[in-house]
Structure formats: structure tokens, C-alpha cells
Structure 1
Amino acid sequence: MNKTLKVTDILALGFMTFAFFLGAGNIIFPPQAGQLAGESLIPAMFGFLSTAVGLPLIGIIAVAVAGGGWKGLTRDLPPHVATLMAVLIFIIIGPAFAAPRTGLVAYEMAVKPFITDAGQTSLTVFSVLFFAVALFFAWSRGKLIDMIGKYLTPALFAVLAILAIAVFMNPQGDILAAQGDYVDQAFVTGFLEGYNTMDTFAALMFGMLIVDVIRQKGITDDKATCTYLIYAGVIAAAGLAFVYVSLFYLGATSSVIAVGAENGGAILAIYVQALFGPVGQIILSTIVLLACLTTAIGLISACSDYFSSLTKLSYEKWAVILAVVCAVVANVGLSQLIALSIPVLFALYPVAVALVVLTFARKWLPNPRLAYRVVLLVSLAFSLIDAAKFMGIDVSALNMLPLFEYGMAWVLPTFAAMVLSRFIGGDIEQQEAQPA
């Protein structure tokens, strides 16, 4: 008889997935986006939800459809290309950007306010302690669903629910006019802001980790594994949407009390202080520490699992290496880290989106091998233009490209390549299949 998961286990799996996704970027970006969006709150929020909730959920489902692993997602690409893509994505969501950012945000928002003379030394000490704790949990990967899904995440969600209810019951100001790009391009600006969460990348990688957790629970049937993975994705998406909506509304009603705030973290800190008084910082610190810690655990676990499959080093050794690197990189500083990561996101996010779409369209493609190569190459070429534009490189000669001004020059060419690949390549595939 095939083993099945109990409802409590499914919920714990979903909560664990939610906790993996809910990290630094998920907390610091929505409040600032909400404040800038102002009266354009609704379209901006839906744009953000598209890339920060919709795409990660579709990514999780794509992993399930592809058989639960990176090899399934990239089976029509040359092995070395697939491996290079995976390594780059793991580096981005792991030691280079996303994982160190969890430690930095945890320090800036949860610990620094309690330190009188906060400086580089205090950041270094905290980074070491933070990633040591994350390493401890990551080592016990067989118990991840129990430790995170059943204990840490419910505590995190309870505190977030308290904050959300307080925000909607007692908003701290009126919603003012939109600012900057949110005046005329609210949806698109929110859409691009959702890139910063890096959750579409994370979905492709966390999907493999969640499959491993499901199988450690005794589920061996592929169809059942796929179903449970989708359940986990849906639960996580619902939780993320709940958090984002409340944080967007928080930001939109913060223009009076948090005028001039440098970033979303500062907006959130000021708002929580206004809502709860001196206790507010304790509540905020609890939210941030739990959210950042659970994400750091998930990122270190996922990266260690993949890198150990490529090398002779064990999972445990990779976890140590990655935790140490994350602690070192975290000392770069939050603003510098975000500035470095954004051009990389503009370059690689469209490729990840294209890969997800191809996974669902594969059965209608006459020659998947050709289609994957062409579509991903086109998406990369045009996304590099968007990245160059963000970096200040003069690419104005290409401003005739559709959606160029919105930083989305990759969309229509990628779509066109995908449509063309539906109608060409069948004869090539048949010729390749014939014996020489």
C-alpha cells in the first residue's frame, strides 16, 4: 500500500515552504513599494504579486510536472549548459546574494536597534552567530519539516497575523498620491520590483529540496510526490500573498509617519513602533529573525544538496563552506549587496521565467531540444540589454524595442521565439531520430 501524508504533515510541508520563501526581500521591499505606489496601490500590488507569488507558485508546479528535479526541467538542454545555469542560480540565491542578505536584514532590523554603538564588529559577531544557527538546522535536513514546518513557521505566521490585523484595523495615515514610476507605470513597476525577492529562482531550487523532504517521509510514488509538492506550493503562495497585501497596505498608509525613510525596513520599523509602542521593536525583531533564519536554512540546505551532487564533498561539508561564505559576504553591507544583485536579476530572471513556461509548453513543441536552446538564448540576449540599461550603459540605440522603456525588452522577443518554435523543427527532430 502506498504511504500517504497526514493533513498535519501536508500543512507542515506547506508552512515549511512558506518559511523558505519568506525572507529578507519579502519583508523589506513591499513596504517601500506600497509607500511609493500610494493611490496606485492596487495595480502596483498585483504587479508585485505576479512576480513574487504567481511565478514562484508556477515554478514549484513546473518542478512537479518535470518530475521533481533540475534534470527534468532542463532535459532538453546540453548537460553542461543545464549545470552552468543551475550553478549560477544557486550562487545567486546562495552565497552571493540572497543568503547573506538574510543575515544583513536580520542584523539591521532585529538586532542593531538594541545596540548602542553598532558597528562593523557587532555585524561580524552577529553574522557568525546567525549563520552558525542556520548551519545547525541545515545539518538536520531530515528533520526540516518537523523543526521548521511545525514549530518555527507557525510562530512566525502568528506574529505576522497580529501585525496584519493591526495594520488594517488601525492604519497610521491616509493613502497619498503615487510617486515616481508608479504614477504612470504602477503595474509594470510593481512587476519589476517583485524580481528583488528572487523567489522564482528559489522556487526552482526549493522544489528539489521539498521533493527530498517528501521522500524522506516515505513517499516514493512519483504522482503522489508531485501532488504533495503542488499542495506545498499553494499553501506557501497563499501565505506569501497574505503577507504582501498587508505590507503593501502598511507602506501605502505610512507616508505621514515614515516620510523620508530610506528603505522598506525603516518604514516597517517606524510603523510597528507607531502601532505597538516600545513593544513594537520586539515584535518586529521576532518577525525578522524568524523569517530570515528559516530562509537562510532553506537556502543553505538547497545549495548544499545540489553542490554535493556535483562534487565529492558531502552535504555536511558544503553546508559548512556555504555558511562561512555567507557570513563573510554579509559584512559587505545591505545597500551594496542589493546594488550588486539587481543587474544580475535583470539578466537571469527572464531566463528562469522562460524555462518555466517551456516546461508547460513542452508537449506541444515538435522539437523541444531546438525550442529550449533558441527560446532561452533569445531571453538571455534581450534580458542583458535590460541589465545594461539598469547599470547605466548607453543602450538608447535600442529604444525602438517593444517594452524597452519599462525594462522588459525580453518579453515580446521571447514570446515570439516560443511561438515560432511551435511550428518549426519537426522535420529536424525526425532527421535526428533516423539512424545514420
Structure 2
Amino acid sequence: MNIQRKELLVTSFALFSLFFGAGNLLLPPMLGYNSGENWLWVAVGFMITAVVIPIIGILAHARLQGTLFDFGKKVSPTFSLIYCILIYVIAVAIPSPRTAAATHEIAIHPAFGTSPLLTSSIYFALVLVFVLNRSKILNLIGKFLTPFIVIMLLAVIAIGLFYSEFSTGSPQFNTPLVSGILEGYQTFDAIGAVVVGAVIIISLNFDNMEVSRFESKRKLIRNSGFIAGLGLFVIYAGLIAVGAYYGSEISVDKALSNDMQRANLLRDISIKSLGEFGNTVLSVLISLACFTTAVGIIAGTADYFKGLLNNSQTVFVVTAIIGCVLGVIVGQLDFNSIVVVAIPVLLLVYPITIMLILLNVLPERLATPLVFRAVIIVTLVFSIPDVIGFLSPFEGLQKLTGYIPLAKHSLGWVLPSVVTFGIVSMVKSKPKDA
């Protein structure tokens, strides 16, 4: 029983840490700050895309216990191959370098004044060392790094709320629930779920934990997902609440870039909570949170291409090196630039990922290959206007999307996808009922 508890705690901590990166730490306080008295509604929306959907993704992994390819193969093997490659390219090109950019701008440069090139080079060299020793990932992250991260986060939140005057600023969002949902996209947690879920499964196969049977691993991954999700919920809600309740005490310079606004707000909250020591705590916290996420992304990408190409260890090493080199190159950009580049990509890929996650946790009698194909095609078609509207909005497109419910909130794909699922499911089941 003790061994099982130890395995559960280590896996839960590792899963939490692989999820919790730069965006997860920086986005919630500013979201709370801008939401003011409506922070609870914003928090609910944020939880949907940053906690609920990702944890459902982990539950889907627990059920499938395969690779990311298994998520989309019911649509078609070709689609799944293209989707997997796209997801992993996005992962190593955007969220992974973003962790290095955030670490440099918030933790390293203010203290040492080093160049982005030096920071990202050392950063990804260390990431590579961890990835190449991937059999120890769960233990290293789950036993040592994550508990430290969680303790510091809870200290900032608890002390911050204790000393707060509970006075919020003016709300900046017209639709707080929708704003929270869309901001949750920026955490990349749904994409993270399908990437790091595979890392957890392969790490369990590598580790010397006494988890071998399918049902044992399924139970371990499922329970770890719930615990990690609870941890994410508490941290996110706490950070949003702290940001909201310090709204009247801290002034954010709107002339600064969005990333520096977020960083300065979190730094001011940390200093108010923990004194000047809070600045050091924040630097260490951001560095560790970003680092563990980068390790998970690079390891997951290398695992996938290794499996795709005859289980070659050489492919694993080469992919890890390429991912780290790309991280160094893209890491030269500032955090905000990477976020801006990510938005149109997320508007296209996130809806498809969300629907694949939801379909993969449904019973097979409901989520048939026909249902998969129909729902994913409709989701893709109705996501394209959001991307075009973001890149170059024009009047004709706005008139067209005006007829689609929720389209003005970049959620025009939701209702068509749900309706398609209902119609195809009924049509599929009709002959059996006759």
C-alpha cells in the first residue's frame, strides 16, 4: 500500500509539473487583475480550458495507453499522422521556447543581465540532459522539483490573500466567462495533455515502479490526473483571486508589453506577500516551472518520432537535440512575440484537440469512426473563420460569421460540433433501433 501511495504521489507531482509552465504562472494573476469583481466567472471559464479539458485528456490517455497517434486514428491514419506531426512541431516551436523566454526575461536577465542566447543555450543544454535521462524523469520531477514549486506557490497565494484588503479594481471584460475560456487556450494545457500524457505512460514503462498491468497503469494515471487537476485548480483559482484582490493596491503600467505587465504584477504580489525575498522566490519558481514543462515537451516529441521510426534510440536523441536547438533559436524572441504568434495557431489546433480529447473518453458505441470523422471535419471547417478573422478580418467574413452562434467570441465551432455529434450518433443508431 505504501508503494502504491508513493507511486501515486510521484506520478501526480510529475504530471502537475509537466503541465505547469510559463503561461500557467503568468496568465492567471493578470486575468484576475483585469476581471475585478467578476474574477470568479473568469476563473470558471479559465478552468474549463486550462483544467477540465486537459485532465479529461489524461483520462483519455489512461484509457488508450498508446501514443498521440491513437487520439486521431479513428478519423483516419493519415489525418492522425499529420495531426501528430503538427502538434509536436507546434510544441517544440512555441510553448517550449516560450518557457526559455519567460525564464530569461523574468528570472535571469534582471539578476544577471545576460543575453537571451546565453540563457537559452544553458537552459536547453540542461533540458537535453534531463531528456536523455528520460527513464528518471518521473522520479526527478515528481520527488524533488514539483514539491518545491507547489510549496512556494501556495505560500505566495496564502500569504497574499491573508494580507490583501480584498478590494478589487474595475472589471475590464465584457464577457468574463468567455474571456476566461479563451485565456485558458494560452496555457497550452489541452495540447500539453495529449503530449505529456504519452510521456507519463512511457516513463511508467521505463521506471522501476511496480506498475505493469494495463488496469494498474490505467488506475494510476487516472488517479494521478485527478490529483494533478485538483492541484492546478487550487493554484489557478488562488492566483486569479490574488490578482483580483490586489487590483486596487498595485498599478500596472499599460505602456509595457503584455508579458512584462504580467511579470511585474506577479513580482509585486510576491514582494507584498513575502517581502523582498519574494523576488527571489518568484525567479526560482518561474525557472523551475518553465524547465519541467520544456523537459516534458521535448521528451514527448522525441518519444513520438522514436516510435514512428522503428523505435530507434538514435532518432530519439536526434529529435531531442533538434528540439533543443530550435528552442535556443526561437527563445531569442521575447515572450510576448511568441504568444502573439501562437494565437492563430491555437485558434485552429485547440478546437480539434479539445474534440479529440472528448471523443476519446466516450464509449466506443458513441464515438464511432464515422462520428470522429464528421465531428472533426465540422470542427476544422468552423475554426478556419476564427483564424482568418484574427489574421485579416474583412467585412464579408464578419457578416458570414455573424450568423454562427458564439463566433464573435472565437467559439463558432462549438455548437456545430455538438450538433454534428448528435445528428451522426442518431443516424448511426437508427437502424439498430428499427
Q: TM-score under structure 2 normalisation?
A: 0.92
CA contact under 8 A between 1:44 and 1:190: conserved in structure 2?
yes
Distance 2:298 2:69 in 1: 20
Partner of residue 101, structure 2: 104
Deviations 1:404-423 (A, max 9, x none): 12111000000011111102
CA contact under 8 A between 2:73 and 2:79: conserved in structure 1?
no
State the 1:235 CA deviation.
1.6
CA contact under 8 A between 2:252 and 2:264: conserved in structure 1?
no
State the 1:302 CA deviation.
0.6
Identify which of 301, 308, 311 aligns with 1:310. 308
Q: Which aligned pairs between 1:194-213 and structure 2 lie closer than 5 A?
A: 194-213=184-203
Distance 1:428 1:25 in 2: 48
CA contact under 8 A between 1:172 and 1:257: conserved in structure 2?
no
Partner of residue 191, structure 1: 181
Partner of residue 54, structure 1: 52
Distance 2:85 2:369 in 1: 21
Deviations 1:108-127 (A, max 9, x none): 11112213xx4xx6111000
* Aligned residue type for 1:222: F
Partner of residue 433, structure 1: none
* Partner secondary structure for residue 141 of structure 2: helix
* Aligned residue type for 1:276: L
Distance 1:128 1:258 in 2: 34
Which shifted more, 353-362 or 190-199?
353-362
State the 1:15 CA deviation.
0.1
Partner of residue 235, structure 1: 227
Distance 2:74 2:413 in 1: 22
State the 1:427 CA deviation.
8.9
* Aligned residue type for 2:334: G
* Aligned residue type for 2:345: V
Partner of residue 393, structure 2: 393
Distance 1:104 1:355 in 2: 30
Q: Which aligned pairs between 1:267-416 and structure 2 lie closer than 5 A?
A: 267-311=265-309, 313-365=314-366, 368-394=368-394, 395-398=397-400, 399-416=402-419
Distance 2:332 2:151 in 1: 31
Identify which of 132, 137, 158 aligns with 1:139. 132
* Aligned residue type for 1:185: T
* Aligned residue type for 2:316: Y
Distance 2:337 2:191 in 1: 21
Distance 2:165 2:26 in 1: 18
Distance 2:76 2:428 in 1: 17
Distance 2:24 2:9 in 1: 21
Partner of residue 154, structure 1: 147
* Aligned residue type for 1:227: K
Distance 1:172 1:338 in 2: 32
Distance 1:100 1:289 in 2: 13
CA contact under 8 A between 1:47 and 1:188: conserved in structure 2?
yes
State the 1:351 CA deviation.
0.5
Is structure 2 residue 212 aligned with structure 1 residue 224? no
CA contact under 8 A between 2:306 and 2:316: conserved in structure 1?
yes
* Partner secondary structure for residue 197 of structure 1: coil
Deviations 1:93-141 (A, max 9, x none): 2x210000000111111112213xx4xx611100000111111111111
* Partner secondary structure for residue 6 of structure 1: helix
Is structure 2 residue 426 aligned with structure 1 residue 423? yes
CA contact under 8 A between 1:13 and 1:149: conserved in structure 2?
yes
CA contact under 8 A between 1:172 and 1:274: conserved in structure 2?
no
* Aligned residue type for 2:391: M
State the 1:374 CA deviation.
1.2
CA contact under 8 A between 1:89 and 1:201: conserved in structure 2?
yes
Partner of residue 76, structure 2: 78
CA contact under 8 A between 1:139 and 1:316: conserved in structure 2?
yes
Deviations 1:154-180 (A, max 9, x none): 11111112111111111266212211x
* Aligned residue type for 1:247: L
State the 1:4 CA deviation.
9.9
Which shifted more, 291-300 or 266-275?
266-275
Deviations 1:194-241 (A, max 9, x none): 010011111112111111122223422111111111112112111111
Distance 1:229 1:67 in 2: 9
* Paired-residue identity, %: 29
Partner of residue 123, structure 1: 116
* Partner secondary structure for residue 115 of structure 2: helix
* Aligned residue type for 2:317: E
State the 1:192 CA deviation.
0.8
* Partner secondary structure for residue 77 of structure 1: coil
Distance 1:417 1:128 in 2: 47
Distance 1:354 1:222 in 2: 25
Distance 1:150 1:6 in 2: 14
Q: TM-score under structure 1 normalisation?
A: 0.91
Structure 1 gap ranges (5+): 430-436
State the 1:353 CA deviation.
1.0
Which shifted more, 185-194 or 209-218?
209-218
Q: How large is the Cα RMSD of the aligned pairs?
A: 2.0
Which shifted more, 329-338 or 98-107?
329-338
Deviations 1:16-57 (A, max 9, x none): 000000001101111111111001011100110111011100
